[in-house]
Amino acid sequence: MAKSKEEVRELVRKIIGEIAPDEDVSSLKPDVPLREQLDLDSMDFLDIVMELRKQYSIEVPEADYPQLESLDSCANYLVDKFH
C-alpha cells in the first residue's frame, strides 16, 4: 500500500475533485496553500480529512490539520501513513 509523494498528491487532488467538483484541481500549485487556490471552507477541509479516513483508513488528528495546507505538505505528511 506504499505510495510515492506524487501518488499521494494525486489522491488528494481526486478527493478535492469529489468534494468540490466545480474546482479545477489539475492546475493546483503544489506549494501554495489549497485555501488560497480553491474556494474551500472549513467544512470542505473536514470533508477531505473524512475522505482520507473513509477511503484509506488514515486518521489525521486535529492538531495535524495545518500540515495539510498545500499539496506538497499533504504529500509530506501522508506518504508515511500509507506504509
CATH number at residue 67: 1.10.1200.10
Please measure the distance between the N-terminal and C-terminal CA atoms of the chain and give it in whole angstroms.
6
CA distance 6 to 64: 20
Tens-digit pLDDT profile for residues 63-78: 999 999 999 999 999 9
The number of distinct structural domains making up the chain is 1
pTM for this prediction? 0.90
pLDDT digits (tens, 9 = 90+) for 23-61: 999 999 999 999 999 988 999 999 999 999 999 999 999
Scan for cell 492546475, then name that residue: 27
Per the structure, the complete domain to which residue 23 belongs is given by 5-82
